[in-house]
Amino acid sequence: MTTVPVPEYEVKEKITLKARETAVIVVDMQNDFVKPQGKLYVPTAEETIEPIRKLLGKARAHGVKIFYTQDTHYDGDPEFEIWGEHVKHGTWGWQIIDELKPQDGDIVIVKTRYDGFYGTPLDDLLKVYGIKNTVIVGTVANICVLHTAASAALRWYKVVVPMDGVSALTEFDYHATLRQISWLYKGVVVKSVDGIEFTS
């Protein structure tokens, strides 16, 4: 076993974003990942439900566009060899959790890989709506959240991640993700969703 420390990364208390230029992307908050009876349960994911719900409430009140990614797999998916069967299309585990159900006007992006941009219309839709800033929350931090954040940054969207809005399987994975987003992708890590404000 090898143990290494996570390098320090900057955490901001507050950030203000223009509502019309910002989208919230909720990554894979599905039953299989968030609920204890799910097939690929992330124990800390439940702790993020209330912060994400609070963020979505603020976003909707300011007309911020909201996207969800929905991880999706079918029979014989090669990814099952890595993680076992999970979020299989049409199953209970595949569904977005009831507490964060998409509302009218929200857009659900069905994806088959970790990255919310890979093989999906997400980039095109963000451009259609004139989005410059992406606030990314959800699970799993070092997998689908990080890959989606990376793709957003590589397309020159500003990436903002609240610490209480993402979850991981280990503490190291959690902090390594935030450090990577802050350092490599020049994103903004905010202490809490309470520190994210929207303005016209």
Identified catalytic residue from 39, 115, 144, 158: 144
- Sign for the CA dihedral angle at 36, 27, 102, 200 comes to positive
C-alpha distances out from residue 72 to 13, 69, 112, Å: 35, 9, 5
Establish whether 111 is a catalytic residue: yes
Establish whether 144 is a catalytic residue: yes
Identified catalytic residue from 28, 32, 115, 164: 28
Q: Report the C-alpha gap between 29 and 54 in whole angstroms.
A: 15
Q: Report the C-alpha gap between 176 and 154 in whole angstroms.
A: 19
DSSP states along 35-54: STTSTT--TTGGGGHHHHHH
Identified catalytic residue from 39, 65, 111, 158: 111
Establish whether 186 is a catalytic residue: no
- What amino acid positions are annotated as catalytic residues? 28, 111, 144
